[in-house]
Amino acid sequence: MRNWVLSLSLCAIILLCACNYSPSTGFKHQKKSITLAGSTSIMPFAEKLAEHFMVEHPDFIIDVQGGGSTAGIQAVMNNTVQIGMSSRALKENERLNTVIICYDGISIVVNPKNPIHALSIKQIRDIFNRRIKNWKESDWIDRAIDAVTREEGSGTRGSFEELVMRGEEINDGIMVQDSNGSVKEVVATDPYAIGYISLGIVDNRVKALTVDNIIPSIETIKSGEYKIVRPFIFVLNGEPDNDLRTFILFVLSKEGQSILKKEGLIGAYD
């Protein structure tokens, strides 16, 4: 019996302590907090920015969440977060302030074993709506094309549909993977695969194709020649207050921009 009382009172004490130290009464008042939510394509970069920003401004807490572009925009409209992240342009009924923080190219990738170096936008479109089903039709061996797309609702897929498919549908028979990483994994292991991923994560395990005779690279995107490019946007409801302004100015500053460029993105001013 004694043991029971002891353990119960111990539990109670621990619970009480936990209540006392909850962050809402603890240190939130001293620190300024900013919450970002939205596109999972932007999320890793936003986290990098937040890390660097918090080192320089220890009085800030920056919280980065995912959820997808649409969810991020929705959250800003409801004022549940201060900054939404969107990897697609806003629709007309979404009347919010936007800040373009950088640009990201979408590259069409194939396996390094694939000898094809270039396709036209029309050929890519035909592959993804399955008018072209065989590599033979693109002057390679007689083997079915294993095309990979992203899942419905993804910002990358949204931009791909807008910039490459141009209103045509991506065929239902095409494989679907749920992140840039898994699309890259499929393309890296399957010699007959083709997919599209963010230019920032292309490495030597996959080969980025030349589209309409333009090599996807930071230079060609800057010059406007490579067309499959989407903006990364911060979305705000109304005018930013001083705290938000500090963070956004940091992102647009030389330092913030160089962090983004180091990750393979294209700066907002280029």
Partner 1 sequence: MPMTDKALFKEKFIKGILVSFALSSLFFLFLIFIFIFIEGLPLFHKIGLKNIIFGFKWAPTKGSFGIFPMIVSSFFVTFGALIVGAPLGLSCAIYLSEYSGKKMKMFLKPALELLAGIPSVVYGFLGVIYIVPIVRDCLGGPGFSLLSASIILGIMILPTIISISFDALMGVPKTYREGSYAMGATKWQTIFRIVIPSASSGILASFILGMGRAIGETMAVIMIAGNALKIPTSILDPLRTLTGNIALELAYATGDHRLGLFSTGVVLLVIIMILNYIANFSIKRKIIK
Closest contact distance (angstroms) between CB of 211 and partner 1 is: 23
Closest contact distance (angstroms) between CB of 22 and partner 1 is: 25
- Cα separation, 236 vs 96, whole angstroms: 6
Among 61, 77, 163, 176, binds partner 1 (CB under 8 A): 176
Q: Which stretch binds partner 1 (CB under 8 A): 53-61, 77-85, 182-190, 258-266?
A: 182-190
Among 51, 151, 241, 255, binds partner 1 (CB under 8 A): 151
Among 152, 224, 238, 262, binds partner 1 (CB under 8 A): 152
Closest contact distance (angstroms) between CB of 174 and partner 1 is: 6
Binding mask 57-76 for partner 1 (x = CB under 8 A): ---------xxxxxx--x--
Among 178, 219, 241, 255, binds partner 1 (CB under 8 A): 178
Q: Which stretch binds partner 1 (CB under 8 A): 77-85, 174-182, 199-207, 218-226?
A: 174-182
Of the pair 1, 55, the CB lying nearest partner 1 is at 1
Tell me if 189 contacts partner 1 by CB under 8 A. yes
Of the pair 121, 176, the CB lying nearest partner 1 is at 176
Closest contact distance (angstroms) between CB of 29 and partner 1 is: 33
Tell me if 186 contacts partner 1 by CB under 8 A. yes
Of the pair 25, 189, the CB lying nearest partner 1 is at 189
- Cα separation, 183 vs 152, whole angstroms: 14
Half-sphere exposure of 117 (CA within 13 A, CB side): 3
Closest contact distance (angstroms) between CB of 169 and partner 1 is: 8
What would the 3-class secondary structure string for the chain be? CHHHHHHHHHHHHHHHHHHHCCCCCCCCCCCEEEEEEECCCCHHHHHHHHHHHHHHCCCEEEEEEEECHHHHHHHHHCCCCCEEEECCCCCCCCCCEEEEEEEEEEEEEECCCCCCCEECHHHHHHHHCCCCCEHHHHCCCCCECEEEEECCCCHHHHHHHHHHHCCCCCCCCCEEECCHHHHHHHHHHCCCEEEEEEHHHCCCCCEECEECCECCCHHHHHCCCCCCEEEEEEEECCCCCHHHHHHHHHHHCHHHHHHHHHCCCEECCC
- Chain residues that interact with partner 1, rule: CB under 8 A: 1, 40, 66-71, 74, 144, 146, 151-155, 169, 172-178, 182, 185-186, 189-190, 192-193
